[in-house]
Amino acid sequence: MNTKHYSLITYLSGEEHKKVREIQKELSKITGSRKCLEDWLPHITPGDGPSLAEEFQANYEKELKAFTDAQNPIKVKISGFDGIENWKGAKGNITPYVIWINVEVSAELLDLFNRLRDEITSKYETWLPRTVNYVPHITLAFADLSEDGYKKGMQYLTTQNINETIIIDHIALAECYGENNMTSVEYKKFYFNNAILD
């Protein structure tokens, strides 16, 4: 059976994408961590990532398309930085240190997460443990971030500021592969109703 692992993500675009990428580049110089720069584009995760056997793929995509066709874009605020030193997704050579930008949990974003879970993701297997407490964020460094790099990165971010409003107007399936599925490539993007396409 051919099973693929996906993350459900919303990519940043425009100026917000550029700002986050600049922070990631600077953090990479300071910390030595390159995983985010090399293998992931800046994004928010609005739901749990499925593990889909080939026979379930088409139905999942059909359900996700119906969901996004009925969903209007929402605005979300991103502000400030945080991190953890004990990420539970760390296995093998993946380190437990993660640095991110905070995403405000608005009523609209929480509703999106809850409906996505209730209407779609709860019916499918996931490759990471299901989210219990939703903590949306934009990852800046992880996976190859050392303890020393984490401390230096968090210190650097005390001198930085970010306060933006972004629009969530799509959900993309990003195929995850490699060690512990920590590398991604966009598979397909599903735009929301009334999304303004680039």
E strands, 42-178, in order: 43-47, 51-53, 74-84, 95-103, 137-143, 163-168, 170-177
pLDDT at 26: 95
DSSP structural state of residue 132: S
pLDDT at 180: 57
> CB within 8 A of 161, min separation 6: which ones?
none
Q: Is residue 178 predicted with pLDDT exceeding 80?
A: no
Q: Which residue has the higher pLDDT, 194 or 82?
A: 82
Q: Using one digit for the tens of pLDDT, what is the confidence trace for 120-166? A: 988 988 866 677 788 899 999 988 899 999 999 999 999 999 999 99
Domains and CATH numbers, the chain: 3-191 (3.90.1140.10)
pLDDT at 179: 59
Per-residue confidence at 91, pLDDT binned at 50, 70, 90?
A: confident
pLDDT at 142: 86
| Measured distance CA(72)–CA(15) in Å, rounded | 22
Per-residue confidence at 22, pLDDT binned at 50, 70, 90?
A: very high
